[in-house]
Chain A
Amino acid sequence: METLLTRPEIQSAAAPLLVALAVGLILRAFGRPWPLLGAVVGFLATAWLINGLQFTPLTGARKIIVIAAAAGVVGVLADVMPRLRARPVWLALFSAGAALWLIWKVLARREGVDLMVVGAPAVAYVMWLTLCLDFGRRAEIPTLAAGLALALGTGAVSILSASALLGQLAFGLGAAIGGVFLLVVFWKDSVAGAVFTVPVGILAGLIGYAGYVFAKVPWYALAVLAIVPLAAHIPLPKAWPRIVRAAVHTLLGVIVSAVAVGVVWWLMEDSGGY
């Protein structure tokens, strides 16, 4: 059993999917949008299997795990306060704080323009993805499709760009989104909610940007991935069955993600292992 839990396909696919699905089914009794909390819980299952409960030294990857838990709490708070004034501002501030904390050790060694060149895009990227997903939360299928395509694209780009750890975390997020997506597809009365959009947007942004700062993810791959939420939200006829719309919205997002992955793949001198 212990050996089984160390396998990447269990850690980053089967376990998060099943945990997200189970949490979604349990929380379904509480109505919308709580089942979608399964996405961040599924991600935390992946994080636990990969990292355990060790948080020292507090590396960037471990900060991502801490932020995931915090983002889940922020998402819950945002959903229990639907009339929260200036909601986008609060979410933007949380996203910015998370992005800066992630790369703080790197920022602390830089000054002036150099500091801005690393810090500003981090804030912009994480904030953009979080707010993009949150603005579209009432259209649950495109929002979940966007999260899924973002996570898968971020995972593939990370693995190709020299960080299996970040890739595994992103794929774990994707599998967890897949788990709750199954519920949404077959459950008509649902909205995405901040319990989904905040952790998923922040995690996709942080893992992607961590890949840029800590590994070799090229900035233009992130620029392409930033378009994923827009592509996944291209309107489709409402008359189409939910399962078809889910498939097409996901496909639209995945096509853009695939462009990012393809660019990274194409620019690699050698795609073989070592």
Chain B
Amino acid sequence: MKKLALSVVAGALLVSAAFADSYTIDPNHTYPNFRINHLGFTTIYGRFGATEGKIEYDPAGQKGSVEITIDATSVDTGYQKRDDHLRSPDFLNVAEFPEITFKSTAVKFDGDKPSSITGDLTILGVSKSVTLEVTSANCAEHPFTKKWTCGFDANTAIKRSDFGINYAIPGIGDDMELLFGVEAIIDG
């Protein structure tokens, strides 16, 4: 009887390992940020305030996937006039391209934690493969909601000209860093 119970538990563990858990991104704790040089003087920081997406995550099986959709109109650098300009055809052209998306194609693990996420970043309808370096990742029961929650921080560097955003280069830097802070709550 004891052997039977153990084999049932072992079987259940194997089945759960074969299927990744599904998570929904928490928009209140997920912010894609960016930083870019301004005229060689300083670094301007900004972020997108509205994000949605799904994560599939299986640390035991070292598998995972990420899909994030960013509302391009939610760009916020702390100055309305600059944000209006960023929404215009000079930069993000949000009237025609209201969404920025990232869809992972491969997730690398270091032990049971992701170390990098490679995927297609689409801005202005142009898709380029980028690799996000994961600087931290953690899963635990949320202390307030008591739901299983996972989060990670990741960043990458892109050239905005690769996506057709050519305005005011080099005055406003071509190189920009993207920094993702993502939190996602398990479905169900």
> What is the total number of residues of chain B having a CB less than 8 Å from a CB of chain A?
20
Q: Please tell me if the beta carbons of B124 and A214 are within 8 angstroms of each other in the complex.
A: no
Q: Please tell me if the beta carbons of B89 and A270 are within 8 angstroms of each other in the complex.
A: no
Q: Select B89's contact among A54, A106, A163, A274, beta carbons within 8 Å.
A: A163
Which residues on A sit within 8 Å (CB–CB) of B124? Answer: 57, 59
Residues 258-274 of chain A, each 1 if its beta carbon lies under 8 Å from chain B, else 0 = 00000000000110001
**Minimum CB–CB distance for B85 against chain A, Å:** 5
Q: Please tell me if the beta carbons of A214 and B81 are within 8 angstroms of each other in the complex.
A: no
Q: Residue A182 at the B interface, CB < 8 A?
A: no
Are A214 and B82 also in contact (CB < 8 A) when A57-B125, A59-B124, A162-B88 are? no
Q: How far apart are the CA atoms of A167 and B39 in the complex, in Å?
A: 21
Which residues on A sit within 8 Å (CB–CB) of B60? Answer: none
Q: Residue A105 at the B interface, CB < 8 A?
A: yes
Which residues on B sit within 8 Å (CB–CB) of A109? Answer: 98
Q: Residue A165 at the B interface, CB < 8 A?
A: yes
Residues 81-95 of chain B, each 1 if its beta carbon lies under 8 Å from chain A, else 0 = 110110111100101
Residues 162-197 of chain A, each 1 if its beta carbon lies under 8 Å from chain B, else 0 = 111110000000000000000000000000000000
**Minimum CB–CB distance for A8 against chain B, Å:** 10
Q: How far apart are the CA atoms of A164 and B168 in the complex, in Å?
A: 10
Q: How far apart are the CA atoms of A165 and B85 in the complex, in Å?
A: 11
Q: How far apart are the CA atoms of A215 and B85 in the complex, in Å?
A: 8
Q: Residue B139 at the A interface, CB < 8 A?
A: no
Which residues on A sit within 8 Å (CB–CB) of B95? Answer: 60, 105-106, 213-214
Q: Residue A210 at the B interface, CB < 8 A?
A: yes
Are A60 and B96 also in contact (CB < 8 A) when A163-B89, A165-B89 are? yes
Residues 138-171 of chain B, each 1 if its beta carbon lies under 8 Å from chain A, else 0 = 0000000000000000000000000010011000
Q: Please tell me if the beta carbons of A163 and B96 are within 8 angstroms of each other in the complex.
A: no
A residues 89-117 in Cβ contact with B at 8 Å: 105-106, 109
Q: Please tell me if the beta carbons of B84 and A61 are within 8 angstroms of each other in the complex.
A: no
Q: How far apart are the CA atoms of A109 and B99 in the complex, in Å?
A: 13
Q: How far apart are the CA atoms of A215 and B73 in the complex, in Å?
A: 12
Nearest chain A residue, comparing its CB with the CB of B123: A57
Q: Please tell me if the beta carbons of A274 and B82 are within 8 angstroms of each other in the complex.
A: yes
Most chain-B CB neighbours within 10 Å: which of A57, A61, A106? A57
Q: Residue A242 at the B interface, CB < 8 A?
A: no
Q: Please tell me if the beta carbons of A214 and B96 are within 8 angstroms of each other in the complex.
A: yes
Q: Please tell me if the beta carbons of B88 and A214 are within 8 angstroms of each other in the complex.
A: yes
Residues 232-267 of chain A, each 1 if its beta carbon lies under 8 Å from chain B, else 0 = 000000000000000000000000000000000000
Which residues on A sit within 8 Å (CB–CB) of B89? Answer: 59-61, 163, 165-166, 210, 214-215
Q: Residue B126 at the A interface, CB < 8 A?
A: yes
Are A165 and B90 also in contact (CB < 8 A) when A54-B164, A60-B96 are? yes
Q: How far apart are the CA atoms of A54 and B81 in the complex, in Å?
A: 29
A residues 123-178 in Cβ contact with B at 8 Å: 162-166
Q: Residue A216 at the B interface, CB < 8 A?
A: yes
Nearest chain A residue, comparing its CB with the CB of B80: A269
Nearest chain A residue, comparing its CB with the CB of B84: A162
Q: Please tell me if the beta carbons of B88 and A163 are within 8 angstroms of each other in the complex.
A: yes
Which residues on B sit within 8 Å (CB–CB) of A54? Answer: 164
Q: Can you sample 17 A-B contacts with CB below 8 Å?
A: A59-B89, A60-B89, A60-B93, A60-B95, A61-B89, A105-B97, A162-B90, A163-B88, A166-B89, A214-B88, A214-B93, A215-B84, A216-B84, A269-B81, A270-B81, A274-B79, A274-B85
A57-B124, A59-B96, A274-B79 are known; give 15 further A-B pairs, CB within 8 A: A54-B164, A57-B126, A59-B164, A60-B89, A61-B89, A105-B96, A162-B81, A162-B88, A164-B168, A165-B88, A165-B89, A210-B89, A214-B95, A215-B88, A270-B81
The 5 closest A-B pairs by CB, nearest first: A57-B125, A215-B88, A163-B88, A214-B95, A162-B84
